[in-house]
Amino acid sequence: MKVICVLCTLLYVNSALNKTGRCKFVGWWGVGVVRFENSVCTAANGLLGICYTRRQCTTIGGYVSGKCARNIGVCCVVQVSCGATSSNNNTYFQNPSFPNIFTGANTCSLTVQRCSEDICQIRIDFLSFSLAQPNGDGVCANDALIISGGAANLGRICGDNTGQHIYLDFNNGSNIDINIFTSSAITAGRQWNLRVAQIGCDSPSRAMSGCLMYYRGTSGTVRSFNYGQSVAIGGRQLANMNYGVCIRTAPGMCSIQWSATSGDSFAFTVSLDAQVPTALTGNNCETDYVIIPNGVTTTADGAALSADRYCGSMFTPVTSSSTPFVLYTVTNGNEATDSANRGFSLSYTQQQCTNNLLQL
Protein backbone atom coordinates (compact mmCIF):
# COMPACT_ATOMS: atom_id res chain seq x y z
CA MET A 1 0.00 0.00 0.00
CA LYS A 2 2.91 2.31 0.71
CA VAL A 3 4.12 1.94 -2.86
CA ILE A 4 0.66 2.66 -4.17
CA CYS A 5 0.29 5.80 -2.10
CA VAL A 6 3.68 7.15 -3.20
CA LEU A 7 2.61 6.46 -6.77
CA CYS A 8 -0.64 8.27 -6.15
CA THR A 9 1.18 11.34 -4.94
CA LEU A 10 3.51 11.39 -7.91
CA LEU A 11 0.67 11.01 -10.36
CA TYR A 12 -1.33 13.70 -8.61
CA VAL A 13 1.52 16.20 -8.88
CA ASN A 14 2.25 15.33 -12.47
CA SER A 15 -1.35 15.51 -13.51
CA ALA A 16 -1.88 18.88 -11.88
CA LEU A 17 0.82 20.23 -14.17
CA ASN A 18 -0.29 18.55 -17.34
CA LYS A 19 -1.08 20.38 -20.55
CA THR A 20 -4.47 19.00 -21.36
CA GLY A 21 -6.40 22.04 -20.26
CA ARG A 22 -8.84 19.78 -18.51
CA CYS A 23 -7.35 20.01 -15.04
CA LYS A 24 -6.91 16.29 -14.61
CA PHE A 25 -6.31 14.66 -11.34
CA VAL A 26 -5.84 11.04 -10.49
CA GLY A 27 -8.30 8.98 -8.57
CA TRP A 28 -7.28 5.90 -6.67
CA TRP A 29 -9.55 3.23 -5.48
CA GLY A 30 -9.24 -0.20 -3.86
CA VAL A 31 -5.83 -1.82 -4.15
CA GLY A 32 -4.83 -0.31 -7.47
CA VAL A 33 -4.29 3.11 -8.94
CA VAL A 34 -7.12 4.12 -11.23
CA ARG A 35 -7.01 7.06 -13.58
CA PHE A 36 -10.12 8.83 -14.69
CA GLU A 37 -10.75 12.14 -16.30
CA ASN A 38 -12.23 14.95 -14.25
CA SER A 39 -15.02 15.40 -16.73
CA VAL A 40 -18.29 17.20 -16.25
CA CYS A 41 -20.98 15.05 -14.67
CA THR A 42 -24.64 15.55 -13.94
CA ALA A 43 -25.15 15.32 -10.21
CA ALA A 44 -27.98 13.43 -8.58
CA ASN A 45 -29.58 16.79 -7.73
CA GLY A 46 -29.51 17.87 -11.39
CA LEU A 47 -26.66 20.38 -11.12
CA LEU A 48 -23.41 20.08 -13.04
CA GLY A 49 -20.45 18.77 -11.14
CA ILE A 50 -17.00 17.46 -11.81
CA CYS A 51 -15.92 13.87 -11.42
CA TYR A 52 -13.45 13.64 -8.53
CA THR A 53 -12.50 11.29 -5.79
CA ARG A 54 -14.43 11.79 -2.59
CA ARG A 55 -11.34 13.18 -0.91
CA GLN A 56 -10.64 15.68 -3.69
CA CYS A 57 -14.24 16.85 -3.52
CA THR A 58 -13.88 17.58 0.16
CA THR A 59 -10.57 19.36 -0.45
CA ILE A 60 -12.05 21.81 -2.93
CA GLY A 61 -15.05 22.55 -0.72
CA GLY A 62 -17.63 20.68 -2.76
CA TYR A 63 -20.24 18.15 -1.83
CA VAL A 64 -20.96 14.73 -3.29
CA SER A 65 -24.11 14.19 -5.31
CA GLY A 66 -24.06 10.91 -7.17
CA LYS A 67 -21.30 8.90 -8.83
CA CYS A 68 -19.37 8.95 -12.08
CA ALA A 69 -16.52 7.26 -13.99
CA ARG A 70 -18.21 3.88 -13.76
CA ASN A 71 -18.86 4.46 -10.07
CA ILE A 72 -15.17 4.98 -9.29
CA GLY A 73 -15.53 8.74 -8.82
CA VAL A 74 -18.11 10.96 -7.22
CA CYS A 75 -19.95 13.80 -8.87
CA CYS A 76 -18.76 16.82 -6.93
CA VAL A 77 -20.82 20.03 -6.88
CA VAL A 78 -19.33 23.33 -5.74
CA GLN A 79 -21.67 26.07 -4.51
CA VAL A 80 -20.13 29.20 -3.04
CA SER A 81 -21.17 32.68 -1.98
CA CYS A 82 -19.61 36.01 -1.00
CA GLY A 83 -15.86 36.12 -0.59
CA ALA A 84 -15.06 32.81 -2.25
CA THR A 85 -12.17 31.98 -4.54
CA SER A 86 -12.59 29.08 -6.93
CA SER A 87 -10.58 27.39 -9.63
CA ASN A 88 -13.20 24.70 -10.01
CA ASN A 89 -14.98 24.15 -13.31
CA ASN A 90 -18.74 24.69 -12.92
CA THR A 91 -18.72 26.68 -9.72
CA TYR A 92 -22.15 27.95 -8.65
CA PHE A 93 -21.92 31.48 -7.27
CA GLN A 94 -25.04 32.25 -5.26
CA ASN A 95 -26.45 35.02 -3.11
CA PRO A 96 -26.36 34.53 0.67
CA SER A 97 -29.26 32.31 1.73
CA PHE A 98 -29.98 31.20 -1.86
CA PRO A 99 -32.57 30.11 -3.00
CA ASN A 100 -34.19 32.62 -0.67
CA ILE A 101 -34.01 36.23 -1.78
CA PHE A 102 -31.36 38.54 -0.42
CA THR A 103 -32.44 41.95 0.88
CA GLY A 104 -29.21 43.24 2.39
CA ALA A 105 -26.70 45.81 1.21
CA ASN A 106 -23.46 44.14 0.41
CA THR A 107 -20.49 43.66 -1.85
CA CYS A 108 -20.41 40.01 -2.80
CA SER A 109 -17.50 38.71 -4.84
CA LEU A 110 -16.25 35.52 -6.39
CA THR A 111 -12.65 35.35 -7.53
CA VAL A 112 -12.20 32.94 -10.43
CA GLN A 113 -8.78 31.41 -10.93
CA ARG A 114 -7.81 29.38 -13.97
CA CYS A 115 -7.67 25.71 -13.06
CA SER A 116 -4.73 25.31 -15.45
CA GLU A 117 -2.70 27.46 -17.79
CA ASP A 118 -4.54 25.89 -20.71
CA ILE A 119 -7.79 27.53 -19.72
CA CYS A 120 -8.56 30.61 -21.84
CA GLN A 121 -12.13 31.57 -21.11
CA ILE A 122 -15.07 31.36 -18.73
CA ARG A 123 -18.74 31.05 -19.52
CA ILE A 124 -21.13 32.45 -16.96
CA ASP A 125 -24.67 31.13 -17.09
CA PHE A 126 -27.23 33.32 -15.36
CA LEU A 127 -29.35 30.46 -14.00
CA SER A 128 -31.08 33.00 -11.81
CA PHE A 129 -30.37 36.72 -11.67
CA SER A 130 -32.48 39.53 -10.31
CA LEU A 131 -31.08 42.81 -9.01
CA ALA A 132 -32.67 46.26 -8.71
CA GLN A 133 -33.69 47.92 -11.96
CA PRO A 134 -31.57 50.71 -13.49
CA ASN A 135 -32.48 54.37 -13.06
CA GLY A 136 -34.36 56.39 -15.68
CA ASP A 137 -31.23 56.70 -17.81
CA GLY A 138 -30.63 52.97 -17.86
CA VAL A 139 -27.69 53.30 -15.48
CA CYS A 140 -27.24 50.60 -12.83
CA ALA A 141 -26.93 53.23 -10.12
CA ASN A 142 -28.04 51.09 -7.19
CA ASP A 143 -27.34 47.41 -7.71
CA ALA A 144 -24.78 46.23 -10.24
CA LEU A 145 -22.84 43.24 -11.46
CA ILE A 146 -19.33 44.36 -12.32
CA ILE A 147 -16.80 41.89 -13.66
CA SER A 148 -13.15 42.89 -13.55
CA GLY A 149 -9.81 41.35 -14.39
CA GLY A 150 -10.85 39.70 -17.65
CA ALA A 151 -9.80 40.60 -21.18
CA ALA A 152 -12.83 42.85 -21.82
CA ASN A 153 -14.85 45.42 -19.94
CA LEU A 154 -18.54 44.74 -19.69
CA GLY A 155 -20.07 47.76 -18.05
CA ARG A 156 -22.57 47.55 -15.23
CA ILE A 157 -25.34 44.98 -15.42
CA CYS A 158 -28.47 44.98 -13.28
CA GLY A 159 -32.18 44.13 -13.42
CA ASP A 160 -33.53 40.76 -14.55
CA ASN A 161 -31.15 38.57 -16.51
CA THR A 162 -32.18 35.00 -15.82
CA GLY A 163 -31.35 32.87 -18.85
CA GLN A 164 -28.56 35.10 -20.15
CA HIS A 165 -24.96 34.02 -20.53
CA ILE A 166 -21.63 35.63 -21.21
CA TYR A 167 -18.19 34.51 -22.31
CA LEU A 168 -15.09 36.27 -21.08
CA ASP A 169 -11.44 35.58 -21.86
CA PHE A 170 -8.86 35.47 -19.13
CA ASN A 171 -6.30 38.25 -19.39
CA ASN A 172 -3.25 36.00 -19.40
CA GLY A 173 -3.02 34.56 -15.89
CA SER A 174 -5.02 37.21 -14.06
CA ASN A 175 -7.97 36.21 -11.94
CA ILE A 176 -11.45 37.32 -12.92
CA ASP A 177 -13.49 38.95 -10.17
CA ILE A 178 -17.26 38.71 -10.31
CA ASN A 179 -18.59 41.45 -8.04
CA ILE A 180 -22.22 42.04 -7.14
CA PHE A 181 -23.07 45.27 -5.37
CA THR A 182 -26.42 45.68 -3.66
CA SER A 183 -27.37 49.11 -2.44
CA SER A 184 -28.85 50.18 0.89
CA ALA A 185 -30.54 53.07 -0.94
CA ILE A 186 -33.45 50.92 -2.02
CA THR A 187 -35.31 47.89 -0.78
CA ALA A 188 -35.36 45.04 -3.25
CA GLY A 189 -35.38 41.27 -3.21
CA ARG A 190 -32.26 40.11 -5.01
CA GLN A 191 -31.37 36.65 -6.12
CA TRP A 192 -28.53 35.21 -8.16
CA ASN A 193 -27.17 31.83 -9.09
CA LEU A 194 -24.35 32.06 -11.62
CA ARG A 195 -22.64 28.95 -12.98
CA VAL A 196 -19.04 29.63 -13.94
CA ALA A 197 -17.53 27.12 -16.37
CA GLN A 198 -13.87 27.10 -17.36
CA ILE A 199 -13.17 26.55 -21.06
CA GLY A 200 -9.92 25.16 -22.47
CA CYS A 201 -8.03 27.10 -25.13
CA ASP A 202 -8.46 24.21 -27.57
CA SER A 203 -12.04 23.42 -26.58
CA PRO A 204 -14.74 23.34 -29.27
CA SER A 205 -16.93 25.09 -26.68
CA ARG A 206 -14.74 28.18 -26.73
CA ALA A 207 -16.41 31.29 -28.13
CA MET A 208 -14.64 33.39 -30.72
CA SER A 209 -12.75 36.34 -29.34
CA GLY A 210 -14.92 39.43 -29.10
CA CYS A 211 -18.18 37.54 -28.60
CA LEU A 212 -19.72 38.35 -25.25
CA MET A 213 -22.58 36.02 -26.13
CA TYR A 214 -22.31 33.00 -28.38
CA TYR A 215 -25.20 30.95 -29.75
CA ARG A 216 -24.90 27.66 -31.58
CA GLY A 217 -28.40 26.89 -32.86
CA THR A 218 -29.57 27.28 -36.44
CA SER A 219 -32.32 29.42 -34.93
CA GLY A 220 -32.81 31.12 -31.60
CA THR A 221 -33.58 34.30 -29.72
CA VAL A 222 -31.16 36.92 -28.45
CA ARG A 223 -32.23 39.39 -25.78
CA SER A 224 -30.42 42.45 -24.54
CA PHE A 225 -29.55 42.57 -20.85
CA ASN A 226 -32.57 43.22 -18.63
CA TYR A 227 -34.97 42.82 -21.55
CA GLY A 228 -38.56 42.54 -20.38
CA GLN A 229 -41.96 43.96 -21.17
CA SER A 230 -42.84 45.73 -17.93
CA VAL A 231 -41.23 49.01 -16.94
CA ALA A 232 -41.15 50.67 -13.55
CA ILE A 233 -38.86 53.68 -13.87
CA GLY A 234 -38.11 55.06 -17.34
CA GLY A 235 -37.11 51.98 -19.28
CA ARG A 236 -35.18 48.75 -18.99
CA GLN A 237 -32.44 49.15 -21.56
CA LEU A 238 -29.04 49.32 -19.88
CA ALA A 239 -26.72 52.24 -20.54
CA ASN A 240 -23.12 52.09 -21.75
CA MET A 241 -23.28 48.70 -23.43
CA ASN A 242 -20.94 47.79 -26.28
CA TYR A 243 -20.63 44.10 -27.09
CA GLY A 244 -20.90 41.48 -29.78
CA VAL A 245 -23.31 38.54 -30.01
CA CYS A 246 -22.05 35.77 -32.27
CA ILE A 247 -23.88 32.92 -33.94
CA ARG A 248 -21.97 29.83 -34.98
CA THR A 249 -22.39 29.29 -38.69
CA ALA A 250 -23.98 25.89 -39.20
CA PRO A 251 -22.81 23.70 -42.13
CA GLY A 252 -24.48 24.68 -45.39
CA MET A 253 -25.72 28.02 -44.05
CA CYS A 254 -24.77 31.20 -45.88
CA SER A 255 -26.90 33.95 -44.38
CA ILE A 256 -28.85 34.87 -41.29
CA GLN A 257 -32.18 36.60 -40.89
CA TRP A 258 -33.04 38.66 -37.82
CA SER A 259 -36.56 39.65 -36.87
CA ALA A 260 -38.33 41.07 -33.82
CA THR A 261 -39.65 38.25 -31.67
CA SER A 262 -43.28 37.74 -32.64
CA GLY A 263 -46.12 38.51 -30.28
CA ASP A 264 -44.18 41.15 -28.38
CA SER A 265 -44.89 44.79 -29.24
CA PHE A 266 -41.81 45.94 -27.32
CA ALA A 267 -39.43 43.42 -28.90
CA PHE A 268 -37.41 46.20 -30.50
CA THR A 269 -37.54 49.43 -28.52
CA VAL A 270 -33.98 50.68 -28.64
CA SER A 271 -34.38 54.43 -29.09
CA LEU A 272 -37.09 57.11 -29.42
CA ASP A 273 -40.52 56.58 -27.84
CA ALA A 274 -41.42 52.93 -27.39
CA GLN A 275 -45.11 53.81 -27.83
CA VAL A 276 -44.64 55.31 -31.30
CA PRO A 277 -43.30 52.63 -33.68
CA THR A 278 -40.57 54.13 -35.80
CA ALA A 279 -37.78 52.34 -37.66
CA LEU A 280 -34.47 54.11 -38.28
CA THR A 281 -31.27 52.94 -39.96
CA GLY A 282 -27.74 54.01 -40.78
CA ASN A 283 -26.55 57.44 -39.71
CA ASN A 284 -29.94 58.17 -38.18
CA CYS A 285 -28.88 55.87 -35.34
CA GLU A 286 -26.46 57.80 -33.14
CA THR A 287 -27.12 56.90 -29.51
CA ASP A 288 -28.54 53.41 -29.01
CA TYR A 289 -28.59 50.84 -31.81
CA VAL A 290 -27.72 47.37 -32.98
CA ILE A 291 -25.27 46.71 -35.79
CA ILE A 292 -25.87 43.93 -38.28
CA PRO A 293 -22.96 44.04 -40.73
CA ASN A 294 -24.10 44.48 -44.31
CA GLY A 295 -27.76 44.05 -43.38
CA VAL A 296 -30.39 44.09 -46.08
CA THR A 297 -34.09 44.85 -45.64
CA THR A 298 -36.80 44.64 -48.24
CA THR A 299 -38.99 47.72 -48.57
CA ALA A 300 -42.73 47.62 -49.18
CA ASP A 301 -42.23 47.98 -52.93
CA GLY A 302 -39.74 45.12 -53.02
CA ALA A 303 -36.52 47.12 -53.22
CA ALA A 304 -33.46 46.06 -51.23
CA LEU A 305 -32.19 48.54 -48.68
CA SER A 306 -28.72 48.12 -47.15
CA ALA A 307 -27.62 49.35 -43.74
CA ASP A 308 -25.44 48.43 -40.78
CA ARG A 309 -27.13 50.27 -37.93
CA TYR A 310 -30.71 49.73 -36.77
CA CYS A 311 -32.54 51.65 -34.06
CA GLY A 312 -35.84 53.26 -33.15
CA SER A 313 -38.87 51.37 -31.89
CA MET A 314 -39.69 49.09 -34.81
CA PHE A 315 -37.65 46.45 -36.63
CA THR A 316 -38.15 45.17 -40.15
CA PRO A 317 -36.58 41.75 -40.80
CA VAL A 318 -32.89 42.05 -41.74
CA THR A 319 -30.82 39.53 -43.67
CA SER A 320 -27.03 39.47 -43.67
CA SER A 321 -24.56 37.29 -45.55
CA SER A 322 -21.60 38.72 -43.69
CA THR A 323 -19.69 36.06 -41.77
CA PRO A 324 -19.08 35.25 -39.02
CA PHE A 325 -22.68 35.95 -38.10
CA VAL A 326 -22.62 38.69 -35.49
CA LEU A 327 -24.82 41.39 -34.01
CA TYR A 328 -23.36 44.25 -32.00
CA THR A 329 -25.16 46.20 -29.29
CA VAL A 330 -24.34 49.83 -28.54
CA THR A 331 -26.00 52.13 -26.00
CA ASN A 332 -24.90 55.50 -24.69
CA GLY A 333 -25.00 56.81 -21.13
CA ASN A 334 -28.51 58.22 -20.97
CA GLU A 335 -32.06 58.05 -22.30
CA ALA A 336 -32.40 61.78 -22.85
CA THR A 337 -34.30 61.50 -26.14
CA ASP A 338 -35.89 58.11 -25.46
CA SER A 339 -38.91 56.86 -23.56
CA ALA A 340 -39.79 53.49 -22.05
CA ASN A 341 -37.25 51.54 -24.08
CA ARG A 342 -36.98 47.86 -23.20
CA GLY A 343 -34.03 46.96 -25.43
CA PHE A 344 -34.49 44.11 -27.87
CA SER A 345 -35.60 40.53 -28.27
CA LEU A 346 -34.49 39.47 -31.73
CA SER A 347 -34.99 36.03 -33.19
CA TYR A 348 -32.60 34.67 -35.79
CA THR A 349 -32.77 31.95 -38.41
CA GLN A 350 -29.79 30.76 -40.40
CA GLN A 351 -30.53 30.32 -44.07
CA GLN A 352 -29.21 27.66 -46.39
CA CYS A 353 -26.80 28.43 -49.18
CA THR A 354 -28.24 28.53 -52.64
CA ASN A 355 -26.41 27.65 -55.86
CA ASN A 356 -23.92 25.84 -53.69
CA LEU A 357 -22.39 22.42 -54.16
CA LEU A 358 -23.59 21.56 -50.67
CA GLN A 359 -27.11 21.59 -52.04
CA LEU A 360 -26.46 18.87 -54.62
**Contact footprint for Ca ion (CB under 5 A):** 287-288, 331-332, 335
Q: Whole-number minimum distance, CB 335 to Ca ion, in Å?
A: 5
Q: What is the DSSP letter of 190?
A: B
**To the nearest whole angstrom, how small is the minimum distance from the Cβ of residue 235 to Ca ion?**
9
Shortest reach from residue 325's CB to Ca ion, in Å: 25
In the complex, the smallest distance separating the C-beta of residue 342 from Ca ion, rounded to whole angstroms, is 12
Rank residues 331 and 347 by Cβ distance to Ca ion and give the closer one: 331
Residue 123 pairs with which residues in a beta bridge?
167, 197
Contact call for residues 239 and 333 (beta carbons, < 8 A) = yes
Query: Which residue's Cβ has the minimum distance to Ca ion?
Result: 288
Are 110 and 196 contacting, i.e. CB atoms less than 8 angstroms apart? yes
Residues 6+ apart with CB under 8 A from 285: 271, 309, 310, 311, 312
Q: Whose Cβ is closer to Ca ion: residue 143's or residue 338's?
A: 338
Q: Which long-range contacts (CB under 8 A, 24 or more apart) does 18-24 make?
A: 18/116, 19/118, 20/116, 20/118, 20/200, 21/116, 21/118, 21/119, 21/200, 21/201, 21/202, 21/203, 22/116, 22/118, 22/200, 23/87, 23/89, 23/115, 23/116, 23/119, 23/198
In terms of CB distance, is 288 or 308 closer to Ca ion? 288
Task: Give least dist CB 162 to Ca ion, A.
Answer: 23
The minimum distance between CB 332 and Ca ion, in angstroms, equals: 5
Nearer to Ca ion, 247 or 327 (CB): 327
**Residue 259 φ then ψ, to 5°:** -150, 155
Do 130 and 189 form a contact (C-beta atoms < 8 A)? yes
d(CA 139, CA 272): 17
Nearer to Ca ion, 160 or 335 (CB): 335
CB nearer to Ca ion: give 38 or 224: 224
Do β-strands 106-112 and 176-182 pair in parallel, antiparallel, or remain unpaired? antiparallel
Residue 128 or 133 having the CB closest to Ca ion: 133
Characterize the bridge pairing of strands 73-80 and 91-94.
parallel
**Shortest Å, Cβ 341 to Ca ion:** 7
